[in-house]
Amino acid sequence: MNIVFRADASVRIGIGHIMRCLTLADALAIEGHDCTFVTRNHSGHLADLIQRRGHRVALMEPPAKNGSNETGDSEYAEWLGASWQADAEETIELLQDSKADWLIVDHYAIDHRWHKVLRPAAEKILVVDDLANRALDCEVVLNQNYGCRENDYRKRVRPDCLLLLGPRYALLRPEFSQLRPQAIEKRKTFQGIRRILVSMGGTDADNATSLVLQTLAGVDWPKPPEIDVVLNSRAPHLQSVIESARLHPLAVSVAVDVNDMAERMLRADLAFGAGGVTTWERCCLGLPSLVIMTANNQNFTIQTLHEFGVIFSLGPKNDFIRDIFMDDIEALTGSDKWQEMSRRSFAMTDGAGCLEVSHAMINISGQAAR
């Protein structure tokens, strides 16, 4: 099949939308399908990474100076870098009359109006979403967040739209499911918090990493753990974090643009992270985590997972309370709480979401062909 993705990355948007689409593209390519990414030339775009992974890229014009959605009816409108009409027209032009079997759209600023314009250019449309806040014109909606329900979408989509909801469909790279048996075996016993992973999203625009490092320095550890910090090379506060690590009382290493995140999560005993797709990566490997909300759209999932004992929520960075942080750390130094959180995390997802989604797409295309 010929599959086209429309998604963006930037310092402001982050890299999560492109990364989860790239994970699905890799899985589809293994099954013999051709994937092309249509992505805008934002500062911090990931066109080079997409190409290194073996997929084609159609790079859109840089954002217009006043290029937000002309209707101004979405808080994410400016993310598009153009009006939705201009974005749709440019997408069609870049496809060069080559009709896609599937158009996969992962963008909060795009709704049913854009989809309708693209209908002549695509047989089927799949929308990757987290918000359930707008009308969509598509055959499939994928929302991998815990707690989302069919009722959230039924009045926003066509009656025959297939809804793939929940972390069962989380788009994780294959190494997470591959390492899951090792993680299950390792986490059967608790030997203390010896290694902590700090990964606050690829770019960490708000520098939550430094806040976590500063607070970890004040913990009275029975045995000081090693700290493994992971960031993207485009992170605006990277040099500041590197300097903080150099001066830190604990042993802190900073890794950039890693391709072994699953192995790092397997080695860790505790994680500090953001919401988004890394939540499901940690869950797949049963890694207990404390989560800082770095975007408003993460709030519902983070709070729901906190209430079900899957994670500890530290709230938004601006509302960070040191005493809550310390209480959570103290609770997780005990075997019972740590193992309970690990078990609940394992139950969220087995890491096979990409297979589930790709099989659903193939089945729908096969039914249409008949």
User: 180 among the known binding-site residues?
Assistant: no
Domain count, the chain: 2
Same domain assignment for residues 206 and 279: yes
Q: What is the pLDDT of residues 131-190, one digit of tens each?
A: 999 999 999 999 999 989 999 999 999 999 999 999 999 999 999 999 999 999 999 999
Residues near 280 by beta carbon (within 8 Å), at least 6 away in sequence = 144, 167, 170, 172, 348, 349, 353
Share of the chain above pLDDT 90, in %: 79
Q: Which two tokens stand for residue 91?
A: 């997408």
Q: Are 218 and 243 in contact (CB under 8 A)?
A: no
223 shares its domain with 296: yes
3-class state of residue 99 by DSSP: coil
Active site residues: 17
Do 246 and 313 lie in one domain? The reply is yes
Query: Rounded distance, CA 235 to CA 122, Å?
Result: 35
pLDDT value at residue 325: 83
**How far apart, in Å, do the first and last CA atoms of the chain sit?**
16
281 marked as part of a ligand binding site? yes
* Model confidence pLDDT, tens digit, residues 303-337: 999 999 999 999 988 887 788 888 888 888 888 99
Confidence category of residue 351, pLDDT binned at 50, 70, 90: very high
- The amino acid occupying position 273 is G
Q: Which residues pair with 58 in a beta bridge?
A: 38
Cα torsion 82, 206, 275, 315: sign = negative
pLDDT for res 332: 87
Residues 150 and 45 in one domain: yes
Assign residue 351 a region (left: φ > 0; alpha: ψ between -120 and 50; beta: otherwise).
left
Averaged pLDDT score across all residues of the chain = 93
pLDDT computed for residue 369 by the predictor: 55
CA distances in angstroms from 59 to 20, 73, 121, 345, 355, listed in the order given: 18, 26, 17, 38, 28
**Shared-domain flag, residues 275 and 189:** yes
* 213 and 136 both lie in a single domain: no
195/101 same-domain check: no
**Residue 162 maps to which CATH number?**
3.40.50.11190
Say whether both 168 and 285 belong to one domain. Answer: no
Residues 68 and 206 in one domain: no
pLDDT of residue 61: 94
To which residue do tokens 């005993």 refer?
Answer: 269
The CATH number of the domain where 301 resides is what?
A: 3.40.50.2000
Q: In which domain, by residue range, is 241 found? A: 174-346
Considering the domain architecture, whether residues 28 and 162 belong to the same structural domain is answered as yes
Residue 167 per-residue DSSP state: G
| Same domain assignment for residues 144 and 253 | no
Average pLDDT over residues 238-258: 97
68 and 168 inside one domain:
yes
What's the average model confidence in pLDDT over 260-278? Answer: 95
